[in-house]
Every structure is written in structure tokens, then in C-alpha cells.
Structure 1
């Protein structure tokens, strides 16, 4: 539905480098990456704010690379809403239709339909300056959707909102996507948005796309140390792999879900590891013995570091930590399934 084909764009310190992506019709597609990775440039190039230096952009098979932004039928919503302060919510929502000289009765009907979808019909007479952040963002989304875009681009739409409003609007976005079937490309730094909303995810770094997959694939089966570190895989072990799925990490032998011969990295999420003072049965799992090096509370979770010849980091719930009854210096047993240990060729840069 939306195809980005080998697109490059240089804007000084920010750039895109031969980016290729395909977003399916009706898909909710999220783009993640650190600051400066090129996420916003990608969105603005799709929208037509910038023309690529190289490559093509196709929408439903139509080449829109050189089509002016207003003729692309693509909606864009920024994190700072960008509503016109001197216009009412009603006038803001209908602005695009009015500029296209649509029939006034048609405009009124579409405004009401869009406002109803976003639950802001009672705010149509108000001005943006009198609205909360969440209400302003709903109005901005309604303004984009009223044009019935073939694709909707969201540039960190929830980042400026408080936690409670973010949760509410996240649920609204899921409902709106289900109701309209609109193809959405959404930039965020928030992993909760990924799991609540995304069909697929792209990870960007330095102007390039480094991995694309479902949230499950990205978070549990990263393809590099960079992606693993970025999505919170705290256990990154270097070793020598074999085709049968075993990996030698120092004196440890780890059974993994996939076998790759030669120098490899093993990525294990900290919440996938069981911890106990009592011996743990293998039951097809990797079982490791070590000593607790540190305990660090972190909100409703507790992070435990265990020295087992290599350092393992384990994340427990408060209840799980209290039941384990461990403290620094205690001898403990760790266990994790081969499916929790994902192997990929080592040699990638480690910084996230």
C-alpha cells in the first residue's frame, strides 16, 4: 500500500540512507529509534514536506515522489498539535475540506462524523487554547481523518501528554484504527505504544532501517546488539555457537532456540529468567548457578544481578522478589528456556 523504495535524503546532521519499507494496506506500523535516527525526516518525506534526493515513494501503486504534499491524500499529526489558535475546533477540523472548496453541508456532516469518532463533539465551539493537551490532540487527529487520507502519519502524538491521558488516547487510537481501517505510520519512543498498537515495527539507526518485524520478533529476537540494547535486552553474552543450537560462553554451555556456527551474541530478556535459592529442575531448560551481586528496586519491579561466571540480569516483580527471598551474596539458581535465548552473529556495534 505504502512503499518506500531506496529513499535517501540529506538535511545536514539528519538524513535518510537508502531506506526501503513496505507498509501494508490497513496496517498499524510503528517506527522506533533513538533521537537523530531519521524518524521524523522519514515521515515528512512520505508526507511531501521534503523531496527525496534519491529513491521513490509509492502509494497504492501510484508514484507520489514528486507530487505536492496537498495532493498526496496523506494526513499528518505532530506531537505539538499545530492547531490554528484563532479558529474554533469545528473550523480547525473542517479547514482542509474548506480549502478544497467542498460543499458547506458536506463539510458540516464530515466534521460531525469526525468529531463523534474522536468523542469531541461537545468541544466544537471551543478554541484550542481552552482545551487540554489530550483534547487538542484529538482535534488534530480529527482534522487529519476528516480528509479520509489513504495513510495517516503520527509523529510522537502522545509524547507531550501526561501518563493518564496517554493511556486513554492510546486506547482511542486502537479503536479509531479498528473503526476506520486507515493505514497508520506512527513514530514513538514508548514501548507500551508498540505492544498496544503495532502490527509491525521498524527500528531505525543513523538514517537507516536496521530491523523490521512484529513486536514479538523485535523484542524477543533482535538481529544485532544495537537492536537488543535498544529494546531492553539486558543480557547480551558473547560466545561461540554451533549448528545444533548450543553456545559456549566461557565455561557455560547455553542451549538456544537457533543454531549459528562461529562467533555469536546471545540475547536473553531479563524477565525470561527464573531465579530461586532452591535447585531448579532442568525440564529442557538452561540451569545456571551463581551468586547475587546486587539488588536494585525499580518501581514495581526489582532488578537482580547474578554472577555466574558471566553477569546475568534478572527482572522480578515485587511479589516474585519477596518470594525468592534473596539478598546480595546469596547463592542462587537461574533457569531459562532455549526459546528465551536468541542467537545472532556477533560483531555489531554494542552501543544503543
Structure 2
């Protein structure tokens, strides 16, 4: 393992880390996902050596680097605003770190040309940063970080300043860095889609702490807390009381009874992903344990998808293709029937409450 973070804690003004433990494997693309203020940037800067931790250790390739100065850590970092030097051309920007390390000019030129070729930006070498697009500036910043041959590359919200088309293209390019270079990447973001597109493994962070670690599918399909569920896009989250019944476990939410598969009883939080709701205009004959009559209260069309909000005693949001919406002839004010499996209901025990509602995607 190239990087091990052991019990890392740090307080810096209103921001803090709280006993962070992580292991980053060789040539791994590791995503750290969390809202603004979660402590993601402090974690990256502490790994890089910009801040000294209040407690904990940072181990790189079996060597304790906790107290090493940043320049000796073999760690590269790229900030979201790129921080290119406006008075230097691209070639000089890329070679800047090697120049600071005292490398001979011929070696700097060769290394700069090699990394520019690898990233497909050789044609940009004579240009100035202010003539580059956002995506081009990002590539130059990454080349500058990689040219020093770091063991770890830290990316601080690298896609946040890019338009949607460039962001999609850059995701593909970033995903190839570990295989192209052998460098492990730690990428922090507040966009859940980055987790899906890029991460080999991921950690979700909130309030200075790691709340879940796993591969993207695990985090999306089996969130451990309502916060993780909400932050990864679960629109339907509510509280209820879980009880045993002759039909199995039933969760009562107001006047609505929902069948679920769960070991928990008593006060719980539960959630249902929008894609797990099945819509019909007629009463459904389905193996799904939950079938609820509802009224459509809101429809929003986004690209090829329709987000449909219904009232069935609780508010639920489902998603359909626009073609399915038209085929079912669903419009606001219509009566519909909603079905979902008991196994599609995720149940979390009450406790460790967080204000997860503000992280739900809204339509």
C-alpha cells in the first residue's frame, strides 16, 4: 500500500478532521466525496504537508512522512483553480517543479516533453495560460504535478470549474492516470457522479469524519447512513416506526404502511431510490409488496428523463423516461399507482441524526 492515514485529526478555524483512517492502494483512483465544509480540502492539504496534523500519522511506502516538509514527500497536488503562473508559458509551467528541485535544463525539457506527449498537450507548450480553455489549463496543471513523478497525486475538485461537456471528457482522461503513470490518485469532490465515473474505491466524508468507505456500487446500493443515502442521490427519505406483523416487517410513516426487509424495529429512517418506483395508471398486479395509490403533484423534464413527484400520503419522487411518461399518459393531477419491492426499502436505525434533507436532489 503506498499511503496509509492513521488517526489523522486537525482543527483549522471552523474546519477540522476527526480521527481519519484511510488506506490508498497502488495505482488506485480514490474518490473522497462530501459536502462543502466536510474537511476534504484540509485532509488533502495535510497529506501534502501544507498543514501539520494535531494528531495521527501519514505513512507513504512504509515511511512515516508526517513531519517531512512538503517538497520531500513525493506528493503532487492540483487545486481547482489550477494556479498556473501567468508570466510563464506552458512548457515553463510544467517544468517549474523540476527547476525548483535543481534538475538540469536538458532533463527538464525532456521530462516536460514526455509528460506533455503522454497527456496529449504537446501542441500547447509554447502558449500562455491565459490563451487556454479550462480543460487545457487543467491538463497543464496535472502535467506540472505529474512531471515530478509523485507517488500520490492529489486533486482538489478538479472538475468543478469546467462545463458539462469538458467535465465528461476530463473524467475519461483522469480515469486513465493510474494505469498510464502508476500514480495513485486521491480526488476530492462534492459531485456524486464523479464517484460513479472515476473511483476504484471511495470514501464519504462529513463533519470532518469518514462515514463510509467502499467501492462505488457498495456506497450507492448499500449506504450506511441517511446522510450517505441522501448525498448519493436518494430523493425519498423519511422517518417511521418499524413493527413486526403477520405480513413481515412493516414501517408506518404517518398513515402509510410500507413493507420492508430489515432487522430493525422501533423508530427508523428509510429511503427508496427513485428508479425503484414502478408507475401504472391501473392497479398493479405485481410481486412487489408495496402498491400505493397516489396523485401526481409535479413533473419536471430533464433531458430524456421525467422526474415525477406523487402524493400517496407521503411525498415520493420517481423517474421515468419521457417516452414512458407519454406512453402511460401521466400528467400533473392524475391518479397513478406506485409499486416497489420490500427489498428496495433501505432502513437505517434511529440515531446519529444528521440534517440529510438538505443534501437530497430536488426537482
Aligned pair partner of 1:317 in 311, 317, 321 = 321
Q: Deviations over 1:10-69 (max 9, x none)?
A: 111111122222222221111111111111111000000000011111112211110100
Contact 2:296 / 2:336 at 8 angstroms: preserved in 1?
no
Residues 84 and 328 of structure 1: CA distance in aligned 2, closer, same or farther (over 3 Å): closer
Residue 342 (1) aligns with residue 346 (2)? yes
Q: Which residue of 2 aligns with 1:252?
A: 257
Contact 1:32 / 1:201 at 8 angstroms: preserved in 2?
yes
Contact 1:290 / 1:309 at 8 angstroms: preserved in 2?
no
- What is the CA–CA distance in structure 1 between the aligned matches of 2:290 and 2:297, rounded to whole Å? 20
RMSD, aligned CA: 2.0
TM-score normalised over the length of structure 1: 0.93
Q: Please state whether the residue corresponding to 2:176 is helix, strand or coil.
A: helix
Residue 297 (1) aligns with residue 300 (2)? yes
Contact 1:77 / 1:154 at 8 angstroms: preserved in 2?
yes
Q: Please state whether the residue corresponding to 2:5 is helix, strand or coil.
A: strand
Contact 1:292 / 1:327 at 8 angstroms: preserved in 2?
no
- What is the CA–CA distance in structure 2 between the aligned matches of 1:226 and 1:234, rounded to whole Å? 11
Residue 121 (1) aligns with residue 98 (2)? no
Q: How does 1:221-236 map to 2 (within 5 A)?
A: 221-236=222-237
TM-score normalised over the length of structure 2: 0.90
Q: How does 1:143-222 map to 2 (within 5 A)?
A: 143-222=144-223
Q: Please state whether the residue corresponding to 2:57 is helix, strand or coil.
A: strand
| Structure 1 residue 248: Cα displacement | 2.0
| Structure 1 residue 242: Cα displacement | 6.3
Contact 2:236 / 2:272 at 8 angstroms: preserved in 1?
yes
- What is the CA–CA distance in structure 1 between the aligned matches of 2:301 and 2:22, rounded to whole Å? 37
Residues 303 and 79 of structure 1: CA distance in aligned 2, closer, same or farther (over 3 Å): same
- What is the CA–CA distance in structure 1 between the aligned matches of 2:350 and 2:308, rounded to whole Å? 26
Q: Which residue of 1 aligns with 2:23?
A: 22
Report the more deviating stretch, 134-143 or 93-102. 93-102
Contact 1:245 / 1:260 at 8 angstroms: preserved in 2?
no
- What is the CA–CA distance in structure 2 between the aligned matches of 1:183 and 1:6, rounded to whole Å? 21
Contact 1:29 / 1:186 at 8 angstroms: preserved in 2?
yes
Residues 281 and 259 of structure 1: CA distance in aligned 2, closer, same or farther (over 3 Å): farther
Q: Deviations over 1:173-217 (max 9, x none)?
A: 112333223211101122222211011221211111112222222
Give the gaps of 5 or more residues in structure 2: none
Contact 2:290 / 2:342 at 8 angstroms: preserved in 1?
no
Residue 332 (1) aligns with residue 336 (2)? yes
Q: Please state whether the residue corresponding to 2:50 is helix, strand or coil.
A: coil
Contact 1:289 / 1:334 at 8 angstroms: preserved in 2?
yes
Q: Deviations over 1:70-90 (max 9, x none)?
A: 000000001111111122211
Q: Which residue of 2 aligns with 1:308?
A: 312
Contact 1:47 / 1:74 at 8 angstroms: preserved in 2?
yes
